[in-house]
Amino acid sequence: MADDVRIRLSQTSQYFIQRLSHVKHLKHRTSGYLLKNPPAFPLGDVLNFYFPRLQTISLPDFTLPEMSHTYFSSFLTRLYLHINSESAERIPRIFAPSLEYLSLYYPDTSHSWHIFRGSLPGSVIFENLTVLEIYHNPEISESIEESDTYFPSISFPKAGKFAIRLASIQ
């Protein structure tokens, strides 16, 4: 029975790819079904296909799979992402200038600015960012030396209209 469900989910993802080619917003949440071992929706195929043109990516309950892309789209304005120790090293670089809303969830690793890229070499300017949310495990600490080595210049020009939410997760 589980194989039948996996096959149907794979067919569903292929259906989306074949018939809905102009998707710009992708949101995925884990279902509330009370299954013991629910089959995972093959989101990697869908994400890989739509990745270059996405403006919104919302994957708060899903860890990014290995992808062929090394950069997020420069059209991306809203990003909600779950980054764990497994996915932290393979995450595509995020184009900072286009972001308006950024929410990052780190259950078992610390935040690092090296995942962002800017328009100019050596600096990352979040030109349009108005909301920044970073959720992390308080038992994991970030090294100041590590964050300083990647980008000497990180700026938030809209800081006057800026909401920052830093929260610990338990």
CA 96 remoteness from chain centre: 12
Helix (H) or strand (E) segment spanning residue 43: helix 43-50
pLDDT at 148: 45
pLDDT at 150: 47
| 69: confidence class by pLDDT, cuts 50, 70, 90 | confident
Q: Which two tokens stand for residue 23?
A: 């998707």
pLDDT at 29: 62
pLDDT at 153: 83
Q: Is 12 helix (H, G, I), strand (E, B) or coil?
A: helix
**0.85 exceeded by the pTM?**
no
